[in-house]
Structure 1
Amino acid sequence: MTTTSWSPEHVAAVQRRTVGVLSSAQVIGGLGAGAALSIGALLVKEVSGSAAVAGLATTMLTLGAAVLALPLAGLASVRGRRTSLATGWLVAAIGAVVVVAGAVADSTWILLTGLFVVGANSATNFQSRYAATDLAEPMHVGRALSLVVWSTTIGSVIGPNLTGLGAQAAGALGIPDLAGPFVFAAVGFALTAILMAVALTPDPLHVAKEIRPAADGPRPRSRMSDAWPLLRSNAAARTGVVTVAGAHALMVAVMAMTPVHMEDHGSSLTIIGLTISLHIAGMFALAPVMGLLTDRWGRGRTIILGQATLLLATLVAGTAGESELQMMVGLVLLGLGWSASTIAGSSLVAQSVLPASRPAVQGASDLLMSLAGAFGGLLAGVVVNVWGFGPLNIVAAFLTVPAIRMVVARRHRIIGAGRLGR
């Protein structure tokens, strides 16, 4: 189809369809994501017998997301969002099957390998939010992104509460109880892969590449290696990447060891599951509000709000002790701070880069975000093992410093950023 055949009405219709398909996929895939987040660390602890090794569960999930971010972004650049997203969800389904196999074999290494592959879920999830912005109007980038983020709420909140049902399914299949939720994850990821392959058409990135050059001039190169020079020269995109990476590292560091900390203080699996569900609700449920703030109030201001909320979360969670209620409040704040920071930072990245270069820069952003999360998970296990959960929150709080400094230093340009290439 030629560029001139894409009328504004047709583009708007494709954008609505894209957001609808991506949102539906996030609901289904979120079931598996919620199960992996809440049960992964406990399953590794059960098999390995070590709380320190349990911290590697989240590390492997985030490290897998990091390693797979660039290949999936490269696939999107060449073949489009549909092929890339379908592939990512299928890989995550395979990873969930490997996790179940590791639990059955009572092998920590197989378990961790499976969790690494399940990390494709996060890499694909991250790319989905950017896919929603490919055809969005500049003043609605935050809204489009946040709607897809919000749709993750349903599956991700229900997922951690499937522990009991998962144990029943595990009993019927003759596998360890904690492996049950990963059976649900495998099915959910596989169904999402099918949905992407069948329904995400026309491909939003292909359409964006066709219509943008007419307005923005010659199409720039789209090689993955171009991401790093673009980030060095683009202050707005660089600030967005640093914000997203720092917020993710802080969130993962605190969240990764929360189930272990609560179990050590006598909390039941039901209470632990509820706490993680509330945390995930904080991450996703108010995403449309964060998107509205990003579009109307400004990306810089929303980033500062997110960082301040993360600081408050570390204070509340770090001083919770045996209080389950205070821990729940702290984890909700942790989710809200992550939501504001991620939506504002991601919007800044999406709106600062031309469509043809977008997959490369977004892939680099997702790579750094996941590496930061892996660092946070690794940091969490070590710090908790040596000093405890309270000191972990103190260390994590310092991860807000880079983003705050960058926004304050460039506040006029960042708050007003919205034009491509700024």
Structure 2
Amino acid sequence: MNLFRSKKNTKIPPLIVKNTLLFAISQAFQGMPMQLAVTTGASMVAFLTGSKALAGIPGMLISGSRFLVAFPTGFITDKYGRKKGMYISLILGVIACAILSFSTSISSVPIMFVGFTILGLGFGANTQLRVAAGDMYPVKLRASGIGTVLTFSVFGAFLSPFLISLVNLDCINLFVFDVCLTDLNLDEYDELTKIWGFVPIFLIPIFIFIYLIKPDPIDVAKNLDKYWGKEYKSLQDSKSIDHIPFNIKNVFRDKVNLAAFFSYSVAQSMMVMVMFLTSLIMVEKGYDYLAVSFTVSIHVVGMFAFSSLVGIVTDSLGRKKVSILGMITLAVGCFITPITSNYFVITLGLFLIGLGWSGSNVASTSMIADRNPVEQRGRVTGLNDMSSGAFSVLFTLIGPVIANFTSLTIICFIATFISLVPILLLISLNELKPGQFK
């Protein structure tokens, strides 16, 4: 299986392959709600409130709630295991989808905002999956392992268009809404009510996949030699920050951590802002939800389809170079997305934004795992997600306002410039060889 091989064809233990696949499948299905939020969130708010200036609220609520839950979830996963974070994410996701379905059925803006807030809490908890993926691999394969898990997320990119098509099939409507749920008169409700209502059906089985992941990845990280062989015992965390009690100041004093935080925060916030605004513009230009969903699917392909390759390159060239390339690609995507209303150009722009984010995500996650002890990675990743959440809240709040008074083109050009700023900090890093910084 080439997907699980490094450039030196290091043999991956079967147990690690099994756990990686289970995490990957879980990630694929758990990405559905996020894609639907991107596809429908801005237009839902604009339709119910009558104001495009408020279109960034779903993104702001999701990012803000991710900010709130990131560090507490990291604490839980550091203390009780990574799987606990996955369970929390799933439970919150199921609850959020049910609330969003109900909110659209009664056209309630406040309830819809509650739904997006809880959805963001679920997304925030789900980010600990990156930590789990990194835990299962030694330094020289760490980025490849993270990339492999993220690559499988691309399958989830096409689940949302499939779901949208599914709820519009006459046979499904007849069986579900006219036979099984006839007393609820759900056939009278709109498309969004049905779409969000169907999502939990896809999420609930994931509890089984997470249960089957044994041992917990944090236990693998603490005993790499047990699962990978004795030669990895001396390599475990050899280049990490000194094993001292967790201290936020020490985390932020480390230049590698700071570069990882800043680059990922910019990549995440620029991607979220442009993504949400573009979906609204596409709907206004006459594209239906299915067309928008396919565009978002291609964007998700950029985010995840090449993650395994990005991981291999990150393990070969180094975290610093891949992160810089990711920010440049992101900037190019932000620049070309608004220059025309052509469907294919918009789609290409969003694809490049996703690809640039992928480079930043894999590289920054690897840097955090490289520089921090096993017992602290969850919390450090939580700080990273808090940082990206704060950036995203800021830009998803002011972005639509600026776009409303100027244009999408202006805000995307601003995003282009901001995307290049982290390169100044990344260039200053001294990476002796992949994963090892001076």
Which residue in the other structure is 2:371 paired with? 352
Which residue in the other structure is 2:435 paired with? 418
Deviation at 1:71, TM superposition (A): 1.8
Matched, 1:316 2:311: no
Q: Which has the higher helix share?
A: 1
Deviation at 1:211, TM superposition (A): 5.4
Matched, 1:182 2:196: yes
Q: Aligned partners of 2:168, 2:390: CA distance in 1, in Å?
A: 32
Task: Assess, with a 3 A threshold, how the Cα gap between structure 1 residues 103 and 350 changes in structure 2: closer, same or farther.
Answer: same
Which residue in the other structure is 1:4 paired with? none
Deviation at 1:144, TM superposition (A): 0.4
Aligned length: 406
* C-alpha contact (below 8 Å) 2:161/2:290 kept by paired residues: no
Deviation at 1:176, TM superposition (A): 2.6
Matched, 1:399 2:418: yes
1:61-101 deviation digits (Å, cap 9, x = unpaired): 22222211112111101110111211121112111111112
Deviation at 1:30, TM superposition (A): 2.3
1:401-421 deviation digits (Å, cap 9, x = unpaired): 4320111122xx1463624x8
Task: Assess, with a 3 A threshold, how the Cα gap between structure 1 residues 237 and 41 changes in structure 2: closer, same or farther.
Answer: same
Which residue in the other structure is 1:75 paired with? 76
| Counterpart secondary structure, 2:215 | coil
| Counterpart secondary structure, 1:319 | coil
| Counterpart secondary structure, 2:421 | helix
Q: Which moved more, 1:23-32 or 1:249-258?
A: 23-32
Identity percentage of aligned residues = 22
Which residue in the other structure is 1:234 paired with? 254
1:267-307 deviation digits (Å, cap 9, x = unpaired): 23332222111111111111112111111111111111111
Q: Aligned partners of 1:190, 1:158: CA distance in 2, in Å?
A: 15
Q: Pairwise CA RMSD of aligned residues?
A: 2.6
* C-alpha contact (below 8 Å) 1:303/1:345 kept by paired residues: yes
1:137-157 deviation digits (Å, cap 9, x = unpaired): 211111100111111111123
Task: Assess, with a 3 A threshold, how the Cα gap between structure 1 residues 191 and 62 changes in structure 2: closer, same or farther.
Answer: farther
Deviation at 1:234, TM superposition (A): 1.7
Q: Aligned partners of 1:47, 1:309: CA distance in 2, in Å?
A: 35
Q: Aligned partners of 2:293, 2:27: CA distance in 1, in Å?
A: 20
Which residue in the other structure is 2:5 paired with? none
Which residue in the other structure is 2:61 paired with? 60
Matched, 1:117 2:137: no
Deviation at 1:346, TM superposition (A): 1.4
Deviation at 1:249, TM superposition (A): 0.7
Deviation at 1:230, TM superposition (A): 3.1
Task: Assess, with a 3 A threshold, how the Cα gap between structure 1 residues 246 and 80 changes in structure 2: closer, same or farther.
Answer: same
Which residue in the other structure is 2:215 paired with? 202
Q: Which moved more, 1:166-175 or 1:84-93?
A: 166-175
Q: Any stretches of 5+ residues in structure 2 without a counterpart?
A: 1-9, 178-185, 226-231
Matched, 1:220 2:221: no
Which residue in the other structure is 2:346 paired with? 327
Task: Assess, with a 3 A threshold, how the Cα gap between structure 1 residues 201 and 27 changes in structure 2: closer, same or farther.
Answer: same
Matched, 1:97 2:114: no
Which residue in the other structure is 2:308 paired with? 288
* C-alpha contact (below 8 Å) 2:140/2:434 kept by paired residues: no
Q: Aligned partners of 1:25, 1:363: CA distance in 2, in Å?
A: 20
Task: Assess, with a 3 A threshold, how the Cα gap between structure 1 residues 300 and 10 changes in structure 2: closer, same or farther.
Answer: closer
Task: Assess, with a 3 A threshold, how the Cα gap between structure 1 residues 372 and 167 changes in structure 2: closer, same or farther.
Answer: farther
Identify which of 264, 274, 282 aligns with 1:244: 264
2:243 is matched by which residue type in structure 1? Answer: P
1:126-173 deviation digits (Å, cap 9, x = unpaired): 211220110202111111001111111111233145323335568923
2:60 is matched by which residue type in structure 1? Answer: T
Task: Assess, with a 3 A threshold, how the Cα gap between structure 1 residues 280 and 31 changes in structure 2: closer, same or farther.
Answer: same
Deviation at 1:113, TM superposition (A): 1.1
Which residue in the other structure is 2:359 paired with? 340
| Counterpart secondary structure, 1:119 | helix
Q: Aligned partners of 1:394, 1:219: CA distance in 2, in Å?
A: 41
| Counterpart secondary structure, 1:329 | helix
| Counterpart secondary structure, 1:334 | helix
* C-alpha contact (below 8 Å) 1:301/1:415 kept by paired residues: no
Task: Assess, with a 3 A threshold, how the Cα gap between structure 1 residues 249 and 74 changes in structure 2: closer, same or farther.
Answer: same
Q: Any stretches of 5+ residues in structure 1 without a counterpart?
A: 1-8
2:28 is matched by which residue type in structure 1? Answer: V
Identify which of 254, 265, 269 aligns with 2:289: 269
Task: Assess, with a 3 A threshold, how the Cα gap between structure 1 residues 41 and 415 changes in structure 2: closer, same or farther.
Answer: farther
* C-alpha contact (below 8 Å) 1:161/1:277 kept by paired residues: no
* TM-score with structure 2 setting the length: 0.86
